[in-house]
Amino acid sequence: MFDFLVVGAGFSGCVISERLAKNGKNVLLVEKRKHIGGNAYDFYNEDGILIHKYGPHIFHTKMKHVWDYLSQFTEWRFYQHRVYSYVDGRYIPFPISIETLKELYGYDFTPREFEEYLVNQREDISEPRNFEEVLLSTIGRDLYEKFYENYTKKQWDLSPSVLDPSVTKRIPIRYNRDTRYFSDPYQGVPKYGYTKLFESLLNNERIHVMLNTDYKDVVNEVRYKFMIYTGPIDYFFDYEIGKLPYRSLQFEFETLEIEEFQPVGTVNYPNDYDFTRITEFKHITGQISPKTTIAYEYPTSDGDPYYPVPTKPAHLLYERYKGKADSIKDIYFVGRLAEYRYYNMDQVVDRALKVAKEILDRDR
């Protein structure tokens, strides 16, 4: 008899499993893939380069308690991510900052001059209703078209005018010269890789892991008291109301006989080619090698679910599934897929810690 059946071995499932096992609970962790770590899984390829199988993952947070919690299970490489956008045939710092305009047009603004410049570029939209209108009313049409419009169409296969305005919350605008992609006080990647971090999280004799296993194939054969479900909520209900839309990603990896391919870890391609970005992993991991591995990233509608589609119809469909989930006792729906919400990794960890505490407090 297990106290908990945990479905999914990503951050949500592994953090909750660790917390429950640490407090004396017996946990069966079931994962459909052949590995732990969810989309943060990494491994050494045949050329000895540590790569992130599902795209670049840089941990960043403002939440000290989240950083401190994970620091129990890993040392860190203190890495601060920088991104360029390939615009007008040049590498331009992104997100938009004073340095972006300096490289793009040769303008060397003070912070006040930069803000005044953007004010003059903005379109007068008093109540932005979608992603496009938020950006037009923030940075104006020129920067929107150069950096966002086509990238967004490739990423979502939708017009920016139908995307929820909340999407812009993930895209900072800097009114200074800071060219880091994230400005959080805690940033880095696990020193020995994410997979080693997850192995440390699960290093408890009370946690039993089953890989290559769909939980539906074993759920009626396993004895347990409670379930933590971190998979797609529509799959849990056999898509009985309809299938929630997701965008997926396909990656093409290539190892080159050179030390460096591009100047930073990630370069966006908003207006050229079919891929959205190229990642070079050695910038992120700090590895030294005469070779380098890069990944071309292609958004697609087929494949593993990555990004919930931020449209009103999708949100309404999720709310119907959530209503069904809320009516079920003894099952906790946690994480990106179960809550149909794009959490950053630190948000996933924070949410998992809170749910685990809630469960343990109820049991006392």
The per-residue pLDDT for range 42-64, each reduced to its tens digit, is: 999 999 999 999 999 999 999 99
Structurally, the chain folds into a number of domains equal to: 3
- Please determine, for residue 169, whether its predicted confidence score (pLDDT) is greater than 80: no
Q: What is the mean pLDDT of residues 277-295?
A: 98
Q: Is the residue at 296 inside a domain?
A: yes
Q: How sure is the predictor about 3, in pLDDT bands with cuts at 50, 70 and 90?
A: very high
Cα–Cα distance measured from residue 73 to residue 62, given in angstroms and rounded to the nearest whole number = 19
Do residues 160 and 121 share a domain?
yes
- Check residue 171 and give its pLDDT: 74
Do residues 232 and 347 share a domain?
yes
Do residues 259 and 286 share a domain?
yes
Q: What is the mean pLDDT of residues 313-319?
A: 96
Do residues 8 and 153 share a domain?
no
Q: What is the CATH number of the domain that holds 15?
A: 3.40.50.720
Read off the pTM. 0.94
Do residues 209 and 358 share a domain?
yes
104-148 residue pLDDT tens: 999 999 999 999 999 999 999 988 999 999 999 999 999 999 999
Cis peptide before 165 (omega within 30 of 0): no
Cα–Cα distance measured from residue 240 to residue 67, given in angstroms and rounded to the nearest whole number = 39
If residue 11 lies in a helix (H) or strand (E), which one and from where to where? helix 11-22
Share of the chain above pLDDT 70, in %: 99
Write out the residue range of the structural domain in which residue 238 sits: 2-36+202-245+309-363
Q: What is the mean pLDDT of residues 72-96?
A: 97
Do residues 232 and 252 share a domain?
no
Do residues 158 and 236 share a domain?
no
Q: Is the residue at 290 inside a domain?
A: yes
Instruction: Choose among 80, 328, 107, 252: nearest CA to 181.
Output: 80
Do residues 121 and 226 share a domain?
no
Query: Dmax of the chain from CA atoms?
Result: 67
Q: Is the residue at 320 inside a domain?
A: yes
Q: Is the dihedral of CA 97, 99, 104, 107 positive or negative?
A: positive
Q: How sure is the predictor about 300, in pLDDT bands with cuts at 50, 70 and 90?
A: very high
Q: Is the residue at 90 inside a domain?
A: no
Q: How sure is the predictor about 207, in pLDDT bands with cuts at 50, 70 and 90?
A: very high
